[in-house]
Chains A and B, each alone.
Chain A
Amino acid sequence: MGRLLKLHTYLVLAFLYLPIAVIVALSFNQSRFGVRWTGFTWQWYVRLFHHHRIAVYAENTLIVAVVSTLIATVLGTLLALGLYRYRFRLKSALKFLIYVPVVIPDIVMGVALLLFFAWVRVHTGWLRLSLVTIILGHVTFQVAYVALVVRSRLAGLDPALEEAAADLGAGGYATFRYVTLPLILPGVLAGALLAFTLSLDDFVITFFTAGPGSTTLPLYIFSSVKRGVTPEIHALSTILIAVTTVGLLLGRALLRRR
């Protein structure tokens, strides 16, 4: 049993890393077509950097991720805090609303947002499909994740601590600023990290809410792949893999230090 389980583990790990290894290896392969190794080269990376729009796509992706993460972290943290502190009517309805973006298939959310933005545009002329609509869409699912992550951190918080702060003269804001926030900060940061990666990773919501001029890297990869596989995409993917891996390891290390 033990040996069999070990073999299974190694095989599944191989399965998990095979595609990534293939992409990384091929990004350095001289041959433009096929997968036969014909020699090492940097040329696909060089070409990628000369691609006139890649920098814009990367910038778009980052703008969306940073802005949406900032908004979602603030809203999600406040939401979790309110759910933790107060009892009110419609509380269970609100909790349900928070679970919805987490559990429904993303395509449903994508098309609903598309419909909504079109409806707003028809009636007001606002919300042309652009980076703004992508950000609005991303925040919508990120808020839910941040709220749930922060809420689990709040659940481990001794309620007497907030009471102690109030007892010592701290009002609602001071209690949050000097007691609650410092204690849930690891949860807030973990939520923000999750929101950020979800935004970087998202394709479906972006696909339905993007407009002309708001191409992000995932959208670019999608349209390129539909036209055929190229070594430049291998190079781009390798860079993205490296960035997310380093980012994730760094984020983990930071969170552990706290």
Chain B
Amino acid sequence: MLKPPKRPENRTAVVELEGVRKVFDGETVALDGVSLTVYEGEFFSLLGPSGCGKTTLLRILGGFEVPDAGHVRIAGQDMKNVPPFRRPVNTVFQNYALFPHMTVFDNIAFGLRMRRLPAETVRKKVAWAIELVQIQGLERRRPHELSGGQKQRVALARALVNEPKVLLLDEPLGALDLKLRKQLQIELMRLQMELKITFVYVTHDQEEALVMSDRIAVMRSGRLEQVGLPEELYERPKTAFVARFLGRSNLIEARATAPDRVETPHGPLRVRGGLVPGRRYLLSIRPEKVRLARTPWNRPNAVIARVHDIVYTGAENQYILEAPGGELVAYTLNADISEPGYEEYDYGEKVYVYLPPENLVVIDEPIGNEPGTATL
């Protein structure tokens, strides 16, 4: 599912944020010193729960909010006092913000007409944009005569027709149903690769971010929690929050007894090493990395547990296990019963759990304040 990794090295920066801070009404801190670089041609996602500051960040890029401190540069130009209508960016708004009194054609032509382009050029460019997002035949309709998906495409065409340096998208698929969402996700990725325009994409949907982005910034309470490639964030979360927010994770409190050994509620475990003995850490392991068996593993990092609950999602079986240190979650791929090695477990059954050391991610964060953490 994940895109091939695109490393940001040796590429031109197009959006640069430096210590950006924003406080609303003198008390609500929306952004608390955010520094960030987005490179040319990147599909960059701002991911986080509502109220984390991702939309504020996007609005600062669009010029709709002014940061209280810090610098914003777009395409090498400082954006201080540059109004939205003079910025080399365009926005796809959350609820599309199509002009209700204009036809689809006039909506898309709006930006071009503001630049006083000749009518013939406007017509050609609009036709190009309409073909790009595949809404041929809707030119004369008004927004209220369009479906949600069609509105989304018009909003996209209206922004893209101006060939912005950066396209800002504020939860553009938030109002659509799941099926349409998936379809438009693929289309957005296609458009971005075709046009090579930098996308800054705000979403609270971790799956969407993982699928679509070249890089993701996970935000929480106005701060950047971690910035990186999707698989980096997924495989090597730096904080418990990232581990929890991107997919599900088993979090286990741990105290190092040796550089590669820890004491945990589930008993002593081995990890990849480099720890400071005596120091407290947090271990994270993805449910699909937890391995189950009917017979003992006969190696370290094995735990005996009991099946407490089972959730069938179709593609996988999710086991909620009662382990010595509390709850553990394990996913197994739902394969043909005749496949070698494939097992199904029953309610209350005793299972042998193996937590592979190479898959136990060590987070340098002593307290597991996330719910569901196995505590020491």
Instruction: Please report A residues at the B interface, Cβ cutoff 8 Å.
Output: 158, 160-161, 163-171, 174, 178-179, 182-183
CA distance A166 to B82 in the complex (A): 12
Partner of B100, one of A165, A170, A178, A183: A183
Please determine whether A170 and B94 come into contact, CB atoms closer than 8 angstroms. no
Say yes or no: A168-B114 contact (C-beta < 8 A), given A163-B62, A163-B64, A163-B84. Answer: yes
Nearest opposing residue in chain B for A168, CB measure? B111
Cα(A158)–Cα(B90), bound, Å: 18
Are A161 and B114 in contact, with the CB atoms below 8 A? no
Partner of A160, one of B86, B97, B110, B115: B97
B residues 103-126 in Cβ contact with A at 8 Å: 110-111, 114-115
Question: What is the distance, in angstroms, from A98's C-beta to the closest C-beta of chain B?
Answer: 24
Q: Given the known A-B contacts A158-B95, A161-B99, are A166 and B63 also in contact in the complex, defined by CB atoms under 8 Å? A: yes
Contact between B95 and A167 (Cβ–Cβ < 8 Å)? Answer: no
| Contact A165 to B110, CB < 8 A, known contacts A179-B99, A183-B101 | yes
**Would B85 and A163 count as touching, CB distance under 8 A?**
no
Known: A158-B97, A178-B110. 6 other contacts (CB 8 A): A160-B94, A166-B85, A168-B90, A168-B111, A168-B114, A171-B83
Residues in chain A near residue B97, CB distance under 8 A: 158, 160-161, 163-164
CB contact under 8 A between A164 and B93, given known A169-B85, A169-B111, A170-B85: yes
Would you call B84 and A167 a contact (CB within 8 A)?
yes
Cα distance A161–B98 when bound, in Å? 7
**B158: interface (CB < 8 Å):** yes
How far apart are A35's CB and chain B's nearest CB, in angstroms?
54
Q: Nearest Cβ distance between residue B96 and chain A, in whole angstroms?
A: 8
Q: Contacts A163-B84, A164-B99 known; A169 to B94 CB distance under 8 Å?
A: no
B114 touches A170 (CB 8 A): yes
- Chain B residues whose C-beta falls within 8 Å of the C-beta of A179 in the assembled complex: 99
Bound-complex Cα distance A168 to B98 (A): 12
Give Cα distance in the complex from A242 to B146, angstroms. 44
CB–CB A168/B162 < 8 A: yes
Q: What residues of A have a CB within 8 angstroms of the CB of B111 in the complex?
A: 168-169
Q: A167 touching B62 by the CB < 8 A rule?
A: yes
**Is the Cβ of B95 less than 8 Å from the Cβ of A160?**
yes
Is B91 part of the contact surface with A, judged by Cβ < 8 Å?
A: yes
If the complex has contacts A166-B84, A169-B115, are A160 and B93 also in contact, measured as CB distance less than 8 A? yes
Q: Chain B CB within 10 Å — which of A167, A170, A178 has the most?
A: A167
Check A182–B101 contact: CB distance below 8 A: yes
- Bound complex: CA of A161 vs CA of B159, how far in Å? 13
Point out the residue from A161, A166, A168, A182 that lies within 8 Å of B83, measured CB to CB. Answer: A166
Given contacts A158-B95, A160-B94, A161-B99, whether A171 and B85 have CB atoms under 8 Å apart is yes
Instruction: Check A169 against B101 for contact (C-beta < 8 Å).
Output: no
Contacts of A160 in B (CB 8 A): 93-95, 97
Given contacts A161-B99, A163-B62, contact A174 B91 (CB under 8 A): no
A169 to B114, CA, bound (A): 6
Q: Which residues of A contact B91 (CB under 8 A)?
A: 163-164, 167
Q: Which residue of B lies closest to A183 (CB)?
A: B101
Q: Which residues of A contact B98 (CB under 8 A)?
A: 164
List 25 interface pairs A-B (beta carbons < 8 Å), by A numbering. A158-B97, A160-B93, A161-B99, A163-B84, A163-B91, A163-B97, A164-B91, A164-B97, A164-B99, A165-B110, A166-B63, A166-B84, A167-B62, A167-B89, A167-B90, A167-B159, A168-B110, A168-B114, A168-B158, A170-B85, A170-B110, A170-B114, A178-B110, A179-B99, A182-B101
Q: Closest residue to A163 on the B side, CB-wise? A: B64
Most chain A Cβ neighbours within 10 Å, of B93, B97, B101, B162 = B97
What is the CA–CA distance of A178 and B110 in the complex, to the nearest angstrom? Answer: 9
What's the nearest-Cβ distance from chain A to residue B143, in Å?
Answer: 11
- Chain B residue at minimum C-beta to C-beta distance from A182: B101
**Shortest CB–CB separation between residue A88 and chain B, in angstroms?**
15
The distance in angstroms between the C-alpha atoms of A182 and B114, with both chains bound, is 17
Of all A-B residue pairs in the complex, the 10 with the closest CB atoms, nearest first, are A168-B111, A169-B114, A160-B97, A166-B84, A164-B97, A167-B91, A166-B85, A182-B101, A169-B85, A160-B93
Q: Which residues of the other chain, B, contact A161 by a CB distance below 8 angstroms?
A: 97, 99-100
Chain B residues whose C-beta falls within 8 Å of the C-beta of A164 in the assembled complex: 91, 93, 97-99
Q: How far is the CB of A136 from chain B (nearest CB, A)?
A: 35
- Distance in angstroms from B157 CB to nearest chain A CB is 12
Cβ–Cβ < 8 Å partners of B159 in chain A: 167-168
Residues of chain B lying within 8 A (CB to CB) of residue A169: 85-86, 111, 114-115, 162
Encode B142-177 as 1/0 by CB contact (under 8 A) with A: 000000000000000011001000000000000000
Interface centre among A164, A165, A178, A183 (most CB of B within 10 A): A164
Closest B residue to A179 by beta carbon equals: B99
Name A160's closest neighbour in chain B (CB-CB).
B97
* Among candidates B89, B93, B100, B115, residue contacting A163 with C-beta atoms closer than 8 Å: B93
Q: A residues within 8 A CB of B86?
A: 169
Q: Which of A167, A178, A182, A183 contacts B85 (CB 8 A)?
A: A167
Which residues of chain A have C-beta atoms less than 8 A from B93's C-beta? 160, 163-164
Q: Of residues 50 to 101 in B, which have CB atoms within 8 Å of A's CB atoms?
A: 62-64, 83-86, 89-91, 93-95, 97-101
A211 to nearest B CB, angstroms?
45
